[in-house]
Amino acid sequence: MTTSTPSVRATLLRLQLTPAPGSGGPLDGAWWPRSRDLELELADLVDHFPHEVGHIARAIFSRPDWLTSPHRVKIGRGIMRTGSFPKDDTHVMLLKLSTGRQLAVLVVPPDTEAEAAREIMGTASSPSNRRSAADLLARAGERGPARA
C-alpha cells in the first residue's frame, strides 16, 4: 500500500514589512512571490504571515500581477475570500487583517533580479519611504531585464 503526502514548500516567505505596519506612508512593505500563481502564493503568504502582525482575513489584489483572479483561495485554516481591483495596475495587494487594520503591500514581480528585488523590498519597508509601488518598480525596471 502506498500513501501520498502533500507537497510542502520548503522555502521562506519573501516578505518585508515596516517596523510598525499600518502606521502611515504609501506602503507597509513588500512581498516577492515566487510565481504568478495567486492561489499558491497567497496561501503561502497567509499561512506564514507573521503572527505578531496579525492574521490575514481577506486580500484584494491587482489583476495584472497574477495569472488568475480567484474569488476564494484555500489556506491552512480553510477558505479565504479574495477580491481584485477591476482596472488596476498598481502592483499593490491590500491585506485586511482580522484586527480590522489594512496593510498595503507592494507585490514585486517574481522574475525580478534578486539584487533589485531586495533593494525594492528594503525601500518599500522603510519607515521613511514616500514612494509609490509603481515608482519603486519603474526605478528597478530602468536597470534592465531580470537575469536568469
Backbone angles phi, psi at 52, to 5 degrees: -70, -20
Give 5 or 116, the one with higher predicted confidence.
Answer: 116
Q: Decide: 123 and 136 in contact? Cβ < 8 Å.
A: yes
When pLDDT is averaged across residues 46-67 and rounded to a whole number, the result is 94
Backbone angles phi, psi at 97, to 5 degrees: -90, 160
Question: Structural domain boundaries of the chain?
Answer: 15-134
When pLDDT is averaged across residues 54-65 and rounded to a whole number, the result is 94
Give 76 or 1, the one with higher predicted confidence.
Answer: 76
